Structures are given as C-alpha cells and as structure tokens.
Amino acid sequence: MKNIHLLLSLMLILSACSPSSKTPSNSQKDIPVNEFAIIIHGGAGTILKKNMTPEKEAAYKAKLAEAVKTGYEILKKGGSSGDAVVKTIQVLEESPLFNAGKGAVFTHEETNELDASFMDGKTLNAGAIAGVKDIKSPIEAARKVMTNSDHVMLSGTGASQFAKEQGLEIVDPSYFYTESRFKSLQRIKDKEKTALDHDDKKAAFYDATIKNSKFGTVGCVALDKEGNISAGTSTGGMTNKRWGRIGDAPIIGSGTYANNKTCGVSSTGWGEYFIRAQVAYDISAQMEYQQKSLKKATNDVIHNKLTKLGGTGGVVALDKNGNMAFEFNTAGMYRASMNDKGDMVIKIYKD
C-alpha cells in the first residue's frame, strides 16, 4: 500500500512540473516576432474614402511610405530606435499634409503653436516641448530636452530659447502657414459666429466645434536590433484652440510612452480624453501588471476605456518582441508599418 501511495505522489509531482500545452512558458511568450520594426501614424478622425480624391489619397500614401522607409533603413543598418523615430517624424513634420510642423493648424489667434514629445524605453527618460512657434522640428527639440537638459517638458519662449542654445533650426513663424489650414480656421470661426448669434459672453465658453477641429497629429514607435524601444509624437494641436491649450501629444503617458519591458505607444485623437485616461501608459501598465498581450491591451484601452469616456482617436503600438498594433475608434487613421523582412503596410480607412 505504501508503494502505491509513493507512486501516486510521484505522478502528481511530475504532472505539476510538466508544462501545459495550453499555457505557454515564458520563453515561448518571449520569442521575437521581429528583430526590429517600425510603426507610424498621421492622425485619426473622420477619414472617409468618399471624401478623398484619388490624387489626395495617393499623396498621403506616398508620404507615409517615405516616412516609414526612412526609419526602416536606419533600423536595418543597426541604427538606434531613437534616431529612427526622430528622422521618420521629421519627414511628416515637413509635409503640409499632416498637422505637425509645416502643416500645423491655427489657433484662435491665427498663430501656430506646436507640441511634441519623445521617450526612450531603455532608460525611461523623456523630453517634451509645448506651445512653440518657431522651432522647425518640434520632435528634435523634444529629444534634445531629454538628452541635454535636467527637465522633461519646456514650453513657449523658454523652449525656443533652449532650442536656439542647442543649435536647432529656428524659422520665422510664417514657415508654418498653409492656406488650407488657415481656411479651416476661418470656417470654424464663421460657424461660431452663426451658432452664437454674436453673443460674446457665450463665445468665451463655446466648445461645439471641438470634435471637428482635430487633424493629423503624427507619431512613431520603433524597436531596434538592440531591443530598445523609442516613441515620439508631434502635433500642431487643435484648430481654433485658445488660451494656450495643450493636448496629449507632449504629455508623457498620454500621447507618448515607451518601456523596453513592455511596449512603445504614440497616440492621436481628442487630447483632453487621452490625458484623462493616460492612454499610452495604461497600455503598458496592462501588459506589465495584468500580463496582457499588446493586442488585448490596446483594444481594451481604446474600445473600452477611451470610448466609454467619450473620447475618439487611436494609437500605434509596438511591443518588445516586435508585435505591432493599430487601434482606433474613428472612421480612419493614417498609418503604416514595416517589419524586419521589409514588409510594408499602408492604410487609411477602417476597412
């Protein structure tokens, strides 16, 4: 009888030690999908094919392809994820198609105020700028704040002074003027006047156009061959914004987040909600503390938490194994990605 009990005990021990076919081991979970990868966005919103001319669609796709290829080539040659993120976003900042840099939207005062942020997933260091009017490349300035200052976020004239001291290119504010963005502001102002019946008291608090006043913020996340993740986001903010409004793009944890242990994220959408939900950090936190996959975490944050708050927009995200996710609750999002095999994906609409 003792021998039978001993045999049963040994069988139970062996059974407990054997890996279950249903639950992958940690080593199985951490098998890299891509040695390096890059993913970008050019903004999310009401982007419908019926409103897009073939020429405009081709222009967007061409610029997205140019940008993602820029970062891919850096990563392919063994360059850092940080360099890939900055150089990729600069391509988009210099295009009037997107709401960043050259294509920035206008404030109520008819100026352009730019925001950007950058985060390094290896060190968890970060940098950001907000409300600047003369720095040609906001994303470059944000990274310089991270590497060359004791601070995380600089704003306004102080940020511009820092950029000058760092030798970054400073331009006349007229550099950011585009006729299409200026006309968009005038249309919104005209709608305000009509809706408010010229009531100046109401005008100070009018917020009805906010949903239709957002355009293509840009962002990028990259994983390099050393396993380091970097993320960055750059924007002109919201058309007709007032009082020095700052959205989620320059806020670490809202618009941008990167952590080598989990993932990198860049957000785009209605910034006030992304700030309240801490969207970018929440995705990383769910992966770290709840052991969720990138797909499950991005899906929950965008389609559950953000949507329930009433927020609209999306994210691009990339985890430590090179898995990628585009997630948004709007009609479309300008987006592209490339993996270590050189496979490129470019999409605009939901389907």
Please count the helices (runs of H) and the strands (runs of E) in the chain.
Answer: 12, 12
Spatial CA neighbour of 147 closest among 132, 167, 127: 127
DSSP letter, residue 211 = G
- The two most distant CA atoms of the chain are separated, in Å, by 96
The sign of the CA dihedral 91, 103, 64, 211 is: positive
Q: Which residues contact 37 (CB under 8 A, 6 or more apart)?
A: 75, 222, 223, 318, 322, 324, 337, 338, 339, 340
The CA distance from 46 to 212, in Å, is 9
Active site (annotated) includes residue 209:
no
Q: Exactly one of 217, 233, 239, 268 is catalytic; name it.
A: 217
The CA distance from 275 to 256, in Å, is 11
The β-bridge relationship of strands 256-258 and 229-235 is: unpaired
Q: Which residues contact 326 (CB under 8 A, 6 or more apart)?
A: 39, 41, 314, 315, 316, 333, 335, 337, 347
The CA distance from 264 to 230, in Å, is 6
Note whether 68 and 344 are within 8 A (CB): yes
The CA distance from 290 to 297, in Å, is 9
> For residue 31, which amino acid is it?
I
Q: Which two tokens stand for residue 339?
A: 């993996």
Catalytically active residues are 217
